[in-house]
A and B are shown apart, each in its own frame.
Chain A
Amino acid sequence: MQNIYEVQSANKIKSAIIVAFFVVFVALAVYIISQALGIYLGYQPGGLGLVGLAFIISGLMSYVSYYFSDKIVLAISGATPANRKEYFDFYTVAENLAIGSGLPKPKLYVIPDSAPNAFATGRDPKHAVICATQGLLVKLNRTELEGVIAHEMTHVRNYDTRLQSVVAVMVGLIALLGDWLLRASFFGGRSRDRDEGDSGVIILVLGIIFAILSPIIAQLIQLAISRRREFMADAGSVAITKQPDGLISALKKISADTEVLEVANKATAHLYIVSPFKGKKYGSARPEHRGIGWFSNLFNTHPPIEERIKALYDMS
């Protein structure tokens, strides 16, 4: 039995470890791939100019998506602003939780879809947007809604969207570099005429292995970060509302609902409170399926609902 503050600090530490691991991995992969690329392109190891180029390209791509993420996401999901009269509970609950967490009140939007779900976006608390589907607002009562909105407020307070975009830059950087190395090796480098020695060959082989594997590994770590942040947001939600029951029953209701959110796609999946792809059942409870469940878990943006509910029960 842990109290909510212990859960929060444990979550923070775990999240920091994953992020640190990610940074170390990215640095290593970038170093090795760039060394190999340097050899291929005919100059001596230390081709950091290319790393800079790849960093700028992937940084620019992510900057655009980061700065305009709220507008893009809202446009994709067809959300409309929520007013106080029509969505009284949604509006006032968000207002109250903003008071309770000391954050500015986020902009509120409603997606006209009957599948219950919600997400938060925006680059910082001042530009935060919380979006709920019409189904969520109809199916949940006020206490459950408080749990869900507080979960989203915690994403906002923890700068999760900012972290995700930084991570996305890194993943993009590795993918780009790996791509260049593989391309260069297909077309054949000029450096083959030269005598490279054993170390050159080892770096080349390592570089190619990294070029193939590291984009996948980087993405897996990115997903692990995303899952850890979900646990953090659940704990933060309880820290604000002080009642885990609301979020527990909301999560149960949302996951039991069989409707599929039509406006969600792979690019926006990690934003939602519960993964919008419910068709794919993950984290099977049956022991013979556990191995498969563990493996498919690696590719999920969200931890299994049962685990989240269990973590919440431990807090109450």
Chain B
Amino acid sequence: MNCSEAEVLIHALIDGELDAGHARDVEAHVATCPDCARKLAAFRELRRTMSVADLKEKAPASLRARIEAALPLPPAPARATGAVVVPAPVLAARRFNRRFFVGGFALGTALSGAVAATLVLGVLNDDRQQRIAGEVVTAHLRSLQPGHLTDVETSDRHTVKPWFNGKLDVAPPVVDLTAQGFTLIGGRLDDVNGETAAAIVYRRRNHVINLFVAPAQGARQQEPASQTRHGFNVLHWQENGLDFWAVSDIAAGELDEFAQKFRAALQPSPAPS
């Protein structure tokens, strides 16, 4: 890590927004760089001062009353919040309509954009995902030891898929991608994040691809996101209630292609195969 990277990342460190790995990197840099160490100390102090100082403004009671008046409740049960009650119409419209009613402002667009905005995460605190990525790489390395790659060795998906039956809580999808350049060579049970996961093994030229499949926490869909750990490419995505982790030493682009083909093969085809 160099100083200009550290200069940005020390703030994320102070704010507790770095994952453990990057926090260690920043701390290691700071330990050997007096200049950055001084900055870290100074900005920590600044941050602390700002959190001690009373920088948040309190909305005036009159504003609170105006807003509450604009959000009327049925008169029945007393829901008074203790704020001064001001007759609504007098204050509510103050200069507001004239000055702020800007027609055609596309709030809806802005909001859905905000929700849909994709984040470039990279270094941020996502401890669970980071830890699991580390684990799947370890599991991948373990699988490359002699005799560990497959429990069931066959290129026939109709053999691999039933083999998993009863061994897992889920039925991992198994597809044959030989025609697309990824040869199915078998499957095995593995261990990811303390839970049993299916590992489906493919080969691309002389490279092994492990695809780990485990039940997802939560049911959301997540498009593939790639990262590199210890020189291996890791691709994670989530769909249909399953977590998928593809790990290999093939190029990131090829691993992307693998994920694409795999996912495409799972789409229901018009005619039974």
Specify whether A and B are partners: no
Residues of B within 8 A of A (CB): none
